[in-house]
Amino acid sequence: MYLSAREISALLPGRFSLLMGLQAESFHRLERLFALRARAPGAYVSDVGDEMNVHLELRERHAYTLELELTYAFHDPDTGRRAPEAQIRMYTDARLAEALHCHPGRGRWDVLDLRAPPPLILRHRLRMASFLSRWLEFLDAHGHAPHTLVAVSAHHDEPLPA
């Protein structure tokens, strides 16, 4: 028995479901990697000895959200910007992590037109969510964990005294 294209597409998750799944997966990975809900706002560095330290800035904590930035702090020679970088909002009540943007200082509307059609916006959000999910999977595989993340001063990579 063969399925028609319509029957196959009915069995597959829609793009919105895929986006929600990626965001839920990213939330759980972030929490497992860095235990962010238990941390105070501030700058942190995770060092696993591979010379690719992960810099995390927990910018804001609200009742149901956390705002953070994740980067290696490499500088792109062409733009001078840090790369890769992800600006993330974690929704602690919904257990979702949304990649707001993957470029420093730029929002969704700096990349997309204000009148962008919804399918284009969804496609853009899927790309960002997919990037974040893959990056977090990579960090997990390389040993980043809550015990490798230490608080640092905002302008230096040296650990703060305990």
What pLDDT is recorded for position 80? 74
Look-up of token digits 């799944």:
21
What pTM was computed for the model?
Answer: 0.81
Question: Which phi and psi (to 5°) does residue 119 adopt?
Answer: -60, -35
What pLDDT is recorded for position 158? 56
- CB count within 10 Å of CB 152 equals 19
List helix spans (H) across the chain: 5-11, 15-34, 108-111, 118-141
What pLDDT is recorded for position 43? 95
Judge whether 16 and 123 are in contact, CB under 8 Å: no
Residues of the chain under the 50 pLDDT cut: 104-105, 109, 162
What pLDDT is recorded for position 105? 46
Return d(Cα 139, Cα 141) in angstroms, integer: 5
Closest CA to 112 of 133, 128, 132: 128
